[in-house]
Structure 1
C-alpha cells in the first residue's frame, strides 16, 4: 500500500537519521526541490550512506532524483537499485516520455518508475506518459501545478481539481498507483485531514507528505473505514453461496462488480 509517502530531504542529516524508524508506507528520499545546488553532492553521499546502513522500517523506498544529475545519481545508486534497497525512482516535472526513457536507460535494473505530474504540459500529455512507459505510479504536484496554471488557491482545490482528476483517471486506465500531492501547512491538522478525505474521495491511493506528523492521519484516511469493511463483509458473505448476478444486501441491490470492490476493501484491511 501507498497510503502515506513521506518526502525526506537528503540534505538534512537529522531527517536522514530519523527516516529508518518512520511508520510511513513509503519514503521518498528527495534529491530535487529540497536540496540546493551547493548541497547536492553531500546530499547524495548522505543518502547512499543511509541506504547502505539498512534497517529502514518503511516497506517502500523511493528516491526523487534531479534530472540534471541523472548520470551521477545512476552511478551512485546503481548497486542499491540492483539489490532492491531502492525500490523506485521518482522523476519530477515529467512532460514527455523521453525523460522517463532516459532514467530507464540509466538504471536498467530499476523496479519501479514514478512520474510526477506537476505542470500543465504534463497533464496535457498524460496519455503519452502513462500509456507508453512502464510505470509504477503517478504523483500529483499541486504547488507547481498552481504555479504553471497561474491559479489562486480555492476551497476544496477547485482551481486544480480537473488536473488532479486527470491524474487519477490515467492512473486507473493503466493500472498505476495514484498519489495525491502534499499539504504544506503541516501544523493545520484539520485542513490536512480534510484534504486527505477529498483525495481519497477523488480516487487517490495515498498522499505525499512533508512532515512525519502527517503519517498517521494519511494512513487512517486512506484505509477502509469501519462502515466500508462492514459493507464489504456483508457483500462477500451474501455472494458466498450464490451464483446470482445481482443480489440484495441490507436493502441495496449489488452486482458482481460490487463483489470485486468488496474483496479489494478486505484485502486493504488485511494489508494494514
Structure 2
C-alpha cells in the first residue's frame, strides 16, 4: 500500500510518498507556489505533472478477459490509478494547513474493456474464418508470424470502432523478438525485421471480409504472394501501409488467431450470427 507521509517540523517540510516504506517521491510545497497580489496560489500545471508522476509509479493497467487455447475464459483483472480528485483535496490540506500528518495515497479501480461476461457472449458464433500455410523450417519468418498472431489474438473490436493492424501489433523490433526475414519492397525480394507478418494481415483480411465489416485501408503487394489468391493480400509496414477495418455490427467481434504446425488460422467470433 502506498502512503503519503507529511513531516510538520517545518512549514516547508516535503510531502513524502512511500510504497512499503520505500520513498518513491518527495513533494516540496514551494515548487507549487504562485504569488499574486500577496495571495498564495497553487501552480496547477505543476500539480498535474506531479499527479502524472504518481499515477505512473503506482498505476496498474487492467487486463482484459481472454480465451485460452482451449477456448476457456481467463478472468479479467482490474487495474488501479491515482484518484486525482481525492489527492487534490489532500494536497490542498497540506499546502494551506500543513496537515494531515499521514494519509493513504488515494486509489481508484480501473476496469478492463472486456470482462468475462462480455467474452462469454461474443464467443458464441463463428462468423468468419480463414487459414493459410507457412513453412515451419523457415524459423525466422515462422517466429514473426507467431508473434503477430499472438498480438491480434483475443482482440475485441467494438461497434463503430476501427481496427488498425499497425496499432494493435505495434512496431516490429528485435527487442520484441522479431527476426529478419524476406519481405517484398517495390517489387523486389529483400530482408527486413518482421518479414512474414503480411501473411497475418492478409489472412485477417480474408477472415473479416464479411457483411457489416468495412475495410477502410488495404494495399496489395507489388507482386503476387503464395499464401493467398491474387488480389486477396493486405501488405503492412510500420512506416508505410496499414490494414484497417471498422466493425459495423451492432455487437463487438472477437479475433482469434493461432499459428502452429505450419498453419495460420484466424477466426472471427460474435454474439450474433453473421
| Interval containing the TM-score (normalised by the shorter chain) | under 0.3
Query: TM-score, structure 2 length as denominator?
Result: 0.23
TM-score (normalised: structure 1): 0.23
Higher relative contact order (CA 8 A, sep 6+): 2
Greater fraction helix: 1
State which structure, 1 or 2, has the greater radius of gyration over its C-alpha atoms: 2
